Copies of this chain bind each other. A is one copy, B any other.
């Protein structure tokens, strides 16, 4: 049994980690930290966990938690992971960080988009961007995994095969993403109130969302040349799910079936990425509560554009599920251990 500590256990991503880890056959939860609920039983903060988690939330004593754990899963706001990573490094443990601190190759990118000095820039070279479908081998050998953002997960999986095959113009990419409100976390914000979200959809951070550079870094890697994208996130009246609708101009005329074949090939061995049958467009509900990414695509002959659509659960494949997938890789376990179940539908 792997001893796992969760730092930041009572936000939505943290709770989802706990929910998954509590049923993981190779995991023993040894610590759950929470600034807001220290001292309180986790099962009182989230009564859904009654009978599954007997731990109390505890203070964020990083040293103590790292000491007791073989791996720590960190679900803190960005800017708080550096001291944890240093402690983990010092003690030779492992870490999956669900925050943004270690996602970038360059500290500059982080500092520009997050307006925040990076406090562990020296560790960036040791961190691996934790999208297993792209970086599986490097993750297996790492000690520090930077779990991708929710939007980047959906967007990159939608575009990877097309960029890897060179069939789209990297300058033409537009990503229109629609997210459930749990992505905004459990913090008390006017924009997260039921009466503000219900019966409403709206864009936000248009052209300047912090997930943009993360998407561009990975797409650049895939394309082998600089990629700049238009990325527009929207808030939806739903709790979970991200749908990414991606537009790009084909570099050569291809039939939908030719492009489908490229996608099929690229994701051939992937458990968690599924190209749906022709004509069946992804619905976020179909991956609700699961670690799967559903994809479909078409070529619009009138405009010469490829349209790809991906659906994920932002809290699972977009956060906690993918983190456990990475943890499995870190420990040489089957990648889908504890994650192998379908979406909850209806």
User: In chain A between 296 and 346, which residues have their CB closer than 8 angstroms to a CB of chain B?
Assistant: 298, 300, 302-303, 305, 307, 309, 311, 315, 340-346
Q: Identify the closest chain B residue to A179 (Cβ).
A: B201
A137 at the interface (CB under 8 A from B): no
CB distance from A181 to the nearest CB of B (A): 5
* Cα–Cα distance between A286 and B288 once the two chains are bound (Å): 16
Q: How many copies does the complex hold?
A: 4
A147 at the interface (CB under 8 A from B): no
* Cα–Cα distance between A340 and B52 once the two chains are bound (Å): 9
Cross-chain contact of A201 among B199, B230, B284 (Cβ < 8 A): B284
A192 at the interface (CB under 8 A from B): yes
A270-297 interface mask toward B, CB cutoff 8 Å, 1 = contact, 0 = none? 0100101100111111111110101000
Cross-chain contact of A22 among B238, B240, B342 (Cβ < 8 A): B342
User: In chain A between 188 and 203, which residues have their CB closer than 8 angstroms to a CB of chain B?
Assistant: 188-190, 192-203
Given contacts A15-B346, A178-B236, A181-B194, 9 further A-B pairs with CB under 8 A are: A12-B346, A44-B280, A50-B294, A51-B342, A176-B232, A199-B240, A200-B241, A203-B309, A240-B346
Q: List 23 A-B contacts (CB under 8 A).
A: A19-B344, A23-B340, A51-B271, A51-B292, A52-B341, A174-B247, A186-B193, A186-B195, A194-B194, A194-B196, A195-B239, A198-B285, A198-B346, A199-B199, A199-B284, A202-B311, A206-B307, A207-B298, A230-B300, A234-B243, A236-B236, A237-B238, A289-B344
